[in-house]
A and B are shown apart, each in its own frame.
Chain A
Amino acid sequence: MSDLEEYKTVIGLSFGNQNSSISFTKDGKTECLANEEGDRQIPAIFSYQGSEEYHGVQAYGQLVRNSHNTILNFRDMLGKSSEDVTDKKHKRSAKPISVNGQPGFSVTVVDPETGAETTSKKTVYEFTVRHLNRLFESARDFLGKKLDGCVIAVPSDFSEKQIEMLSKASKEAGVPAMQFVKESAAQILALMYSDSALVDKFVVVADFGATRSEVSVASIKSGIITILSNEQDLHLGGEQLTEVLVNFFAKEFEKKHKINPLTNRRAIAKLHAQCEITKRILSNNTTASAAIDSLVDGIDFHSNINRLRFELAGSSIFNKMSDLVVKAVKKAGLETVDINEVILAGGASHSPKLTSLMWSVFPEQTVIRSSASSATPLAVNPAELAAVGAGVQASLIAEFDADEIAGSLTPDVVNAPHLTKPIGINEGDNFVVVFDIETALPAQKSIECVAPAEGGAYIPIYEGERSIKVTTVEADADESDFSEEEEPEEIRERVVTPGTLLATVNIADVAPKAKVEVILHLDAEGKLTVTARPKDGKGSNVRGSN
């Protein structure tokens, strides 16, 4: 065997309630793979019609004709007891049942030979194995190689029991899971990998999926990610937005024809399928049409809607999503002015309204990265970020053995002290933060200081005090034409001033304007060690700890 052939083939995987994606790293770039049908977001849906089993987009297409025999939204039920699951997310499809205490579904299939109908009960676990098996098969076909392992992204509320079941399912489906990572952390990694990872920042990841929304606030310091807070709503997502259109068109239809289409299961399914498309069109265009043949009683339906009308009708849903973001920032002990970047992930984040809501919630300097942002667009489909991040991680640990991976997940490695106050250099207005709060320890940074014109380097190192400075600016006469009230605008800024003096470094013998390299090191106990040396080598070197 040559060296090349010994490399492991590993993939990343995201498994949502609606869609899954698989990713692979080639030539340093991680991308989602398409299945045989060309889909990169593969619906976690099964449908049974006659003797056929449909999966993915084909199964999705069965929702209108064959809803009671179509199984979807099962990821969140994995590893739970049937008593703990609701059928709230199964209004339009097969309802979950108890299979010996485990959640499952009943499916009816026809024997192709005898034509006999048989109904069987299958657990969510079994559907998960089947679904993963399909995904692995697609990846194998695409790559033309056997798969050695995968990294799977899961939501932050996935319990140990759920992870255990998913791990078992993955193995049974043919590819062992090497590691489970949080969807939010994977979404960050997907973007961080290609970007300036070492620029310290606070980031919000807001994932708006099909059936749920989750917001995480993360501190990223020297490339290390710490999640500071999570907020989730398990009944808020793209489905609710589609529902807004369904209700909108249903009302319109009823007004015209005096029949409420929402009393007919088939009509609801047809409306839903059309509104899903209409909603997506509204993400790219300002108007969209809807047309359904024979919606009810043989009556066709035709209509139009513009984006503004949709956003108005869906304002309570959009606002709930935006409120979740604000709540998560508060929970993290931060203010919106502290957030450097907001990443909008998940399929529902395609709706442009979410981007404009973020613009209004966050100050101007916060970068909003979303598919709908023209200034700072995402290079990756927001629904694929979790899978891409999982794939990046898979490629990083591809050659690790199980013990090595387990060894990096132990509490002594993962639990780290984090700074509660910023640490920086200089006095008064010249104070520069070197380590911000929520920096994981140990940490080290090298900075360059420039001696004053008089020569000599005096470097005071302080812990900083954080506060918010509020400035009121009178409303601009021109701009206020647009707002109803002429309230003065409040501008909030984060300011850090020197607090406790930690240490001082003095090097009297450096030349005027000489450059001094200063290395600040904090150990796991928070002990500070400073090393300073003139870059030109002319002058003393100083090293000390406190």
Chain B
Amino acid sequence: MSAGKSIPLFPSKTAIEASFVPHAKVSKPVVRSVEPIGPYFLAHARRLKYGRTFSEDER
């Protein structure tokens, strides 16, 4: 699934090696119920049921 747009990046101020640097955790989510309807919900239910990832699902 794509956000549908190209994002222009800006020059790095700290040009370093290829890296991933974690900084902070995502804020605590809130639990809500999703509507059990539509093709994308069914795909979500299927992924949970079979423990599949998004990428496995797309294939």
Contact = CB atoms under 8 A, between A and B. Distances in A.
B21 to A, nearest CB: 5
A318 B35 CA distance: 29
Interface in B6-23: 6-23
B34 to A, nearest CB: 5
A412 interface: yes
A68 B54 CA distance: 59
B37 A185 contact: yes
Interface in A426-462: 426-427, 430, 432, 434, 438, 440-442, 444-452, 454, 456-459
A444 B47 CA distance: 12
Contacts of A452: 8-11
A430 B10 contact: yes
B59 interface: no
A182 B37 CA distance: 9
B25 A526 contact: yes
Nearest to B44: A224
A542 B18 contact: yes
Contacts of A504: 19-21, 23
B45 to A, nearest CB: 4
Given A423-B26, A432-B5, A543 B20 contact: yes
Given A189-B38, A452-B10, A506-B16, A417 B29 contact: yes
A79 to B, nearest CB: 21
Contacts of A444: 1, 54-55
A418 interface: yes
Given A409-B36, A414-B34, A440-B34, A198 B6 contact: no
A509 to B, nearest CB: 7
Measured as residues with beta carbon below 8 angstroms from the partner, the interface class of chain B is 35 or more
B3 A445 contact: yes
A412 B20 CA distance: 32
Contacts of A61: none
Interface residues of A, number: 90
Contacts of B23: 500-504, 546
A462 to B, nearest CB: 9
Nearest to B23: A501
A411 B31 CA distance: 11
A189 B31 contact: no
A416 B33 contact: yes
A50 interface: no
Contacts of B40: 197-198, 222-224
B22 A526 contact: no
B2 to A, nearest CB: 5
B52 to A, nearest CB: 11
Contacts of A503: 20-23
A543 B19 CA distance: 8
B25 A546 contact: yes
Nearest to B18: A540
A227 interface: yes
Interface in A90-137: none
Given A197-B40, A426-B10, A544 B20 contact: yes
A442 B43 CA distance: 12
B7 A509 contact: no
B14 to A, nearest CB: 8
Contacts of A397: 42
Interface of A: 179, 181-182, 185-186, 189, 192-193, 197-199, 218, 222-228, 389, 392-393, 396-397, 407-409, 411-421, 423, 425-427, 430, 432, 434, 438, 440-442, 444-452, 454, 456-459, 463, 500-509, 515-516, 521-522, 526-528, 530, 539-546
Given A416-B44, A430-B8, A542-B18, 9 more contacts: A197-B40, A225-B35, A417-B31, A451-B9, A458-B15, A500-B24, A500-B27, A506-B19, A526-B26
Closest 8 CB pairs of A and B: A544-B20, A223-B40, A458-B12, A546-B22, A417-B29, A540-B18, A185-B35, A408-B45
